[in-house]
């Protein structure tokens, strides 16, 4: 490589920040006039998926939905581009911090459980972002709600400045979408955070997102899976039963009001949950009155995130210095017919282990042909998505 890789003449790649099943995320600098520079995130669909229509459509939809949601608690989408090889990438807001799953893990490794006020602060920010999606309106004022469908610790970003941001609307269900990207009889989302009605074959609704938020809070406070089984099939059955273990049996420092709020969010029937993300967030805000004295939980969250990032960053640097596993980008002669256009290619060497892996697998539950009488709305046959 003769120099830094610059996309579209202005997005200079700095380093890989993470990699998932369908896309990789890079930290980059956008260059402008008079020395202007800004840090952004580049989310790039993997080359092996760019020719698969359904994956490409989901990626395009993520960009479309994200661009229409301007809110402080949602990661902002700035641009949507395609490189010379025809690979799409999204230019997004960069959050200097870590995801909630990584934060909870770091708290545990530091020798303690996550303080409940910090979990509440993270939940309030996430719920405000969800409220903006659920209450979205078209330019004419008519309702056009967006259901996230993938609320999970991995998609809740915590900034070292105390910001809380909801990200990844790749599975979002928007009412104004021209066609559905989900085949009939298919359930999309992370298995651990599906709501009972979705697991029973119902449509995802804002109430489904609220259940997922309750599950995220429960797990962040206990350090355990809300629904834990020996197999995906066992977990799926437990979700349908929706038997919630009492939080009080795990922690004795939680206000009774907080326990009641989380239990309401995890109600089996959608009608028994909160009527909106806004009301859920409001009730959590009231619980913060019971937080132990000694500082603002939002500032404490920011300090803890910065401390964990510094510690984990040092560990990561020790792992990758002088290593052949550091991901890079190189120029090669273009295969396209347009002369003089360079192509981008990632080295084949594997990336270093992620700091905070996704909390659970992404799944699709396929609905096979019926085999006789069954009381199950969806036969329990699972099919994992490609990694």
The residues annotated with a catalytic role in the active site are 150
Contact of 147 with 136, CB cutoff 8 Å: no
Beta strands (DSSP E) in 56-123 are 77-82, 88-93, 97-99
Give, rounded to a whole angstrom, the gap between the first and last alpha carbons of the chain. Answer: 28
Distance CA 249, CA 387 (A): 36
Tokens of 150: 């993938």
Mention every residue, 6+ apart, whose C-beta is less than 8 A from residue 13. 4, 5, 6, 7, 26, 27, 28, 42, 329
Contact of 7 with 83, CB cutoff 8 Å: yes
Q: Distances from the Cα of 308 to the Cαs of 10, 133, 146, in angstroms?
A: 32, 30, 33
> Angle, to 10 degrees, between the axis of helix 297-320 and the axis of helix 100-109?
80
| Parallel/antiparallel/unpaired status of strands 173-174 and 146-147 | antiparallel
Contact of 191 with 90, CB cutoff 8 Å: no
Contact of 40 with 14, CB cutoff 8 Å: no
């Amino acid at each position: 490589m003769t120099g830094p890789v610059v996309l579209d003449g202005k997005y200079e790649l700095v380093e890989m920040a993470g990699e998932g099943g369908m896309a990789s995320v890079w930290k980059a600098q956008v260059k402008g006039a008079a020395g202007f520079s800004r840090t952004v995130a580049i989310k790039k669909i993997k080359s092996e998926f760019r020719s698969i229509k359904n994956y490409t459509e989901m990626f395009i939809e993520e960009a479309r939905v994200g661009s229409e949601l301007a809110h402080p608690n949602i990661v902002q989408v700035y641009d949507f581009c395609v490189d010379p090889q025809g690979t799409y990438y999204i230019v997004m807001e960069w959050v200097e911090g870590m995801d909630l799953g990584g934060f909870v893990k770091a708290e545990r490794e530091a020798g303690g459980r996550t303080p409940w006020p910090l979990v509440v602060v993270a939940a309030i920010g996430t719920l405000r972002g969800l409220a903006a999606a659920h209450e979205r309106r078209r330019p004419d004022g008519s309702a056009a709600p967006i259901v996230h469908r993938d609320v999970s610790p991995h998609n809740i970003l915590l900034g070292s400045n105390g910001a809380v941001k909801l990200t990844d609307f790749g599975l979002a269900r928007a009412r104004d979408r021209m066609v559905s990207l989900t085949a009939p009889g298919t359930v999309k989302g992370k298995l651990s955070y599906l709501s009972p009605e979705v697991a029973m074959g119902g449509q995802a609704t804002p109430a489904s997102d609220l259940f997922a938020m309750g599950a995220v809070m429960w797990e962040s406070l206990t350090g355990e899976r809300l629904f834990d089984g020996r197999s995906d099939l066992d977990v799926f059955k437990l979700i349908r039963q929706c038997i919630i273990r009492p939080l009080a049996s795990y922690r004795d420092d939680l206000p009774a009001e907080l326990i009641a709020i989380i239990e309401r969010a995890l109600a089996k029937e959608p009608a028994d949950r909160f009527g909106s993300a806004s009301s859920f967030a409001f009730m959590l805000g009231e619980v913060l009155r019971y937080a132990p004295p000694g500082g603002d939980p939002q500032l404490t969250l920011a300090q803890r995130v910065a401390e964990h990032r510094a510690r984990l960053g040092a560990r990561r640097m020790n792992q990758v210095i002088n290593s052949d596993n550091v991901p890079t980008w190189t120029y090669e002669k273009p295969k396209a017919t347009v002369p003089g256009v360079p192509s981008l290619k990632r080295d084949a060497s594997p990336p270093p282990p992620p700091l905070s892996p996704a909390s659970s697998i992404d799944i699709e539950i396929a609905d096979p042909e019926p085999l006789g009488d069954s009381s199950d709305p969806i036969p329990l046959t699972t099919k994992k998505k490609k990694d």
